[in-house]
Amino acid sequence: MLETASDLKAERVGGYRPAQAGDGAHPVFQWPPKPVAAIRWLFGFPGYLWPWSTFFALLAFLLWRLLAMDAPRSPSLGWTAGLLGVNLGLLILFAGTWHVRLYARKSQGTNYKYNSRWLSANNSTFLFNNQLWDNVFRCLVSAVPIWTAYELVTLWLFAHGYIRTVSWRAHPVYCLLLLLLIPMWLQVHFYAIHRLIHWGPLYRSVHYIHHKNANFGPWSGLAMHPAEHLLLFSGVMLLWIVPSTPIHALFLLLVYGLGPALDHQGFARVQITNGVTLNTDHYTHYLHHKYVNVNFGGDSLPIDRWLGTFHDGSDRAHEAMKSRLRGEGLR
């Protein structure tokens, strides 16, 4: 949705807070049914399909068609290095574009920024005493190789027939439906692994690295411990069981490889022109980094609402969080 800059009146000391945060349940999952609102969410802009699901799907088709990414039966070192290079380039271009616009050039200052502070420098909490370079290092040295390894193994399994492949031409409805449902699967998978790594021992040894980024930027999305990268990209293993195509696998891995830059870009809206902004709100995930024990899931499925871990930034939700944490012995 395009909105005017008059919404800046919702700005508060310390950063921007949306005047109305989401309620954790998109219209598709609300009762009584709201068919018009559901259709608007599914097909509107921004919505479930537009722009990002469609962008990642088209990118997966493009990679498969133009780069001939069907893995050879015995991948060569050169082919593997090329695959790694493609993924490095995609992440640098995607996360880098968001970073340059919003953080390097500061094209809209702190307008709509959840936290008015910028990324940390001269901070011993991070590698190289610098939050940005810590994040970039973890993304490029750990995330991309692990992403590529899952991609290589999956394409090799397709090439050897270990994964049942279906034809887009013979089964177009099935293939399209599976493509549409993959983001939903990723929401379930992400919630499950996210709750797991918030278990005390795993949080203290693994997930704490990601939560160093309480005030995050686009490169923070994949700034994680390698063990967390292994868990994150393991979502593609669903397609080792469910009949699919390499395009589905590429799409799934692109969502997990590039999507975190969107979730962590740190602004509720991006200014297109003076007075006009594009809604890119991921406020609930910002609240996860702020409060740690809420909003473990993503934006498409209201799993946090269903399981009582949702926080929308309201005083009521904050009191509910404190009550839940006291009951769990965490506060």
Question: How far, in Å, CA of 82 to CA of 177, rounded?
Answer: 31
Domain count along the chain? 1
Task: Evaluate whether 158 touches 246 at the Cβ level (below 8 Å).
Answer: yes
Q: What is the pLDDT of residues 213-264, one digit of tens each?
A: 999 999 999 999 999 999 999 999 999 999 999 999 999 999 999 999 999 9
- Host domain of residue 228: 2-327
Q: What is the maximal distance between C-alpha atoms in the chain?
A: 59
Q: Read off the pLDDT of residues 72-83 as tens digits, 9 standing for 90 and up.
A: 677 788 888 999
Looking at residue 150, its pLDDT comes to 97
Does the pLDDT of residue 68 top 80, yes or no?
Answer: no
**Please, which contacts does 171-175 make with residues 24 or more away whose CB atoms are closer than 8 Å?**
175/244, 175/245, 175/248
- 108-117: average pLDDT: 94
CB 310 within 8 A of CB 304: yes
- Beta strand 276-279 with 2-4 is antiparallel
Q: What is the pTM of this model?
A: 0.92
Q: What is the pLDDT of residues 144-190, one digit of tens each?
A: 999 999 999 999 999 899 999 999 999 999 999 999 999 999 999 99
Which string of DSSP letters, residue by residue, matches 210-275?
HHT-SS--GGGTT---HHHHHHHGGGGGGGGTS-B-HHHHHHHHHHHHHHHHHHTS-BSEEEEETT
Q: Is residue 267 pLDDT above 90, yes or no? A: yes
